[in-house]
Structure 1
Amino acid sequence: MTGSLSSSKGPLWRGRALAVLGILLCAFSLRSAVASLSPVVDLIGEDFEVSAAVLGVIGTLPPACFAVFGILTPDLERRLGIERLTVIALTAITAGLIGRSLATDSIGLLAGTAVVFAGVGMANILLPPLVKKYFADRIGLMMTVYTATMAFSTFVPPLVAVPLADAAGWRFSLGIWAAFAFAGLIPWLVMLFRPGAPAGAAATAGVDDATFDADDGTDDAVLAATGPIATAPTNRRLVARLARIPLVWALAFTFGTSSTMAYVSFAWLPSIMIDTAGVDAATAGFMLSLWAFIGLPAGLVVPVLVVRFQATRPLFVIGSVGALVGLLGLLLFPRPELLWLWMTLFGLVGVSFPLALVLISIRTRTPDSAVLLSSFVQSAGYVLAAIFPVLVGILHDVTGGWTIPILAVIAVLVLTFPAGIAAGRRVTIEDEWERRHGTW
């Protein structure tokens, strides 16, 4: 038996236009804030020294901040509310981007970047629960639009950062992205200060119980808001419970591997291609953009395929196997004329990111549970993502080549494969707990 909705889906925009705009502008700011700095580092270095140590810290700041603020966000959300905390996160991103563009030394650059990623770390956790709260009847569609927006904002900044810097200076190139974060503030501020209940209440109420098969382990059409919920225990008790649920760890490893592939690629993929294939920096940068671009169609199709067609496991296999073949091709046949093929195949790992995000939304019954699950999964995943770019650099320095670092990245993909298959089980974390321990 497959799940179904007994009530028709509400129009996406009716009563929720501000939520749509707020989610999309926030999603755009998450990746543009990360991807807009590295292309203009050399130009910044013409004004003041940016040491290798500072660059190394900046490279590890995103996943490190994401992990730390992923832990803090659920308590902050419980005290302040999800909309207020979203405003705080976007304010931090806006202020950090402006501060970074005004930096006069490497310390100012580092401080502005830290503020940016503190805000991004909070917003990372909040977006899946926001989708669940306001669009419980349209999770597949909104996750599609949201993850596609993130993919779009990943490959656009590297393409335009240098032309913008050449035309108006590196400060403008860095600061322009603050406009999107500031624009994202406006819908949430309007919703906070207007009278009446949040628009998401009606959307969530329109979703009936979902049922699902126990035999095939694929996703249901919707797993949002399933059944009556017992009185929720405190956040601290819930976090302790999450750590005892195998499904949660499967989701965390799946998300962590996706993030690891992204940050290893942003940090080292151009250098790997330059050293192994003998291409120039411009070609390596273009190939990195090609790798990132593959995430755009993935963001468009993955949420719909998961929510509507229950395709979690096939998608995970396609992404993992494609990435393995791409990395092996880069390792064994690093020819310039084949790089486009290896980057396209390796880019299929971009399937894992929207897959992990939509699973966070549909593997819980309520928005509150989604906040906690999002926090746990992303914090644990970003710890792995913070470690591996540094580890790849160390392995390269020790061995003097890229064979061992690439094999280490391949090992992560292989070791995560069982977790990805387990994450395809069509149950919620509340179901898992109740099956093992009783009432949630």
Structure 2
Amino acid sequence: MTKRSLVGGRALALAGIVLLAFSLRSAVASLSPIVDEISADIALSPTIVGLIGTAPPVCYAIFGILTPRWERRVGVQSLAVVALVAVTAGMIWRAFATDAVSLVAATALIFAAVGVANVLLPPLVKRYFPDHLGAMTTLFTTTMAVATFVPPIIAVPVADAAGWRASLGLWAAFALAALVPWVVLAIRSRAIIGEENLPVAARRLWSLPLTWALVIAFSASSATAYTMFAWLPLVLTETGGVSAGAAGALLSLFAFMGLPLSLLVPTIVSRTRHGIAVLFVVAIGSALAGVLGLAFLPTIATWLWVALLGLCPLLFPLVLMLLGMRTESPRTAVALSGFVQSAGYTIAAIFPFLFGVIHTATGGWTIPLLTLGVIAIAAIPAAKIIAQSTSVESELRRREP
């Protein structure tokens, strides 16, 4: 490959990664703000709304584990194209839904495709930017954060001006735009699809402590985020004595806290010898302090406990970066990404439900909050394993007789 084609491929991949990351989150975040407007045309029961709300982590878990198998058959670029076609089709279908069944089916298609693309992003960065893993991981996770904040701000005004169908459908334009670079890159790579067999390392991921340590770290971040998005406003109004409006503002604070520090993840990891350990200490220590504060001092400095708890999700960009750092080939990165995200999202899907069950059984919020702290504690030994490991392949080589 010439230098010119390499640069051109990187430019296309850069545009593709950014647009793909934006499409993944905008597809998910654009629905909930306008549920009331949709309900005026389509009868949506609380069960249907709840099903849509809990579907993302379930779809991410199921399709995350299937992605490595599909990637081996068609290649990572081609599978990205398939995922984007499905996201685009799902968003258009959802915008023209005529009943609850078609709305749920279209949304499920979107979440399934997002589950596939979630797994592909770290390996795509590994393939095209192996020398800039940190910077590129920061770029696409920041893009995801922006794509989470922007749709709720725009969705309602667009729905008021042009209707809820236009509000949902406009985000398909970004997924359609993301198709262009990936179609080009898929065509360029078609000659090598199927030539690279699944590495032995990828077939033995389940046997490595490093793999399970990454799963635990990813679970700690995702379970905390999903549980707080589901329950934090109610916890605050019942224990902290805050109004519903203030609880919503504090939930926004929780969502925002992980972003500034996550931007520093590559710098901390690359320039500090113990950067990974430092980030784990910050995330785990802050999560435990936030949980204990909300459990025992909910009316004192409530904003502080929420802000501290909001630092735990900084493990999300760190783990995504480590999926590239702890593998030696893009194909192993696909397998590791699929395994870690699938297992992690499975736990994330269970935990909000478990949080509610414990609340119902105990009649209070102290025990559920302390239970949330358990998963943060579980990340302590995981942090040690991750910080001391080199790569999946090297860990397996050490085990060879």
> Structure 1 length normalisation: TM-score?
0.83
More deviation, 305-314/161-170: 161-170
For residue 328 of structure 1, the aligned residue among 274, 292, 302 is 292
Letter in 1 for 2:343: A
- For residue 41 of structure 1, what is the aligned residue in structure 2? 35
The change in CA–CA distance for 1:381 and 1:159 in structure 2 (over 3 A counts) is: same
More deviation, 24-33/361-370: 24-33
Partners of 1:339 and 1:103 in 2: how far apart?
Answer: 42
Q: CA offsets per residue over residues 2-30 of structure 1, 9 Å max, x none?
A: xxxxxxxx9x9664111001001111122
More deviation, 402-411/274-283: 274-283
- For residue 382 of structure 2, what is the aligned residue in structure 1? 419
Letter in 1 for 2:290: G
The change in CA–CA distance for 1:100 and 1:193 in structure 2 (over 3 A counts) is: same
Q: CA offsets per residue over residues 384-433 of structure 1, 9 Å max, x none?
A: 01111221222233334322222221111112221122211241011111
More deviation, 25-34/249-258: 25-34
Partners of 2:84 and 2:52 in 1: how far apart?
Answer: 20
- For residue 51 of structure 1, what is the aligned residue in structure 2? 45
Segments of 5+ residues of structure 1 without an aligned counterpart are 1-9, 199-230
- 1:47 counterpart SS class: coil
- Deviation, 1:184, is 1.1
- For residue 72 of structure 1, what is the aligned residue in structure 2? 66
More deviation, 155-164/137-146: 155-164
Letter in 1 for 2:398: R
- Deviation, 1:232, is 7.6
Q: Which structure has the highest helix share of the two?
A: 2
- Cα RMSD (Å): 2.6
- For residue 397 of structure 1, what is the aligned residue in structure 2? 360
- For residue 342 of structure 2, what is the aligned residue in structure 1? 379
Partners of 2:233 and 2:37 in 1: how far apart?
Answer: 18
Letter in 1 for 2:333: A
Letter in 1 for 2:370: L
Q: CA offsets per residue over residues 54-89 of structure 1, 9 Å max, x none?
A: 233222211111111111111111110110100111
For the Cα contact (< 8 Å) 1:148–1:295, is it kept in 2?
no
- Deviation, 1:196, is 9.7
For the Cα contact (< 8 Å) 1:91–1:185, is it kept in 2?
yes
Partners of 2:81 and 2:189 in 1: how far apart?
Answer: 17
Segments of 5+ residues of structure 2 without an aligned counterpart are none
For residue 313 of structure 1, the aligned residue among 269, 274, 277 is 277
For residue 171 of structure 1, the aligned residue among 146, 165, 169 is 165
Determine whether 1:85 maps to 2:49: no
Partners of 2:176 and 2:209 in 1: how far apart?
Answer: 39
- Describe how 1:136-175 pairs up with structure 2 within 5 A: 136-175=130-169
For the Cα contact (< 8 Å) 1:323–1:345, is it kept in 2?
yes
Partners of 1:319 and 1:146 in 2: how far apart?
Answer: 20
Q: CA offsets per residue over residues 226-245 of structure 1, 9 Å max, x none?
A: xxxxx98646x655511111
Identical-residue share of aligned pairs (%):
53
- 2:204 counterpart SS class: helix
> Structure 2 length normalisation: TM-score?
0.90
Letter in 2 for 1:432: E
For the Cα contact (< 8 Å) 2:220–2:312, is it kept in 1?
no
Partners of 2:238 and 2:230 in 1: how far apart?
Answer: 14
- Deviation, 1:378, is 0.9
- For residue 206 of structure 1, what is the aligned residue in structure 2? none
- Deviation, 1:185, is 1.1
Give the number of aligned pairs. Answer: 396
The change in CA–CA distance for 1:87 and 1:397 in structure 2 (over 3 A counts) is: same
Letter in 2 for 1:160: I
Partners of 1:99 and 1:333 in 2: how far apart?
Answer: 47
The change in CA–CA distance for 1:396 and 1:163 in structure 2 (over 3 A counts) is: farther
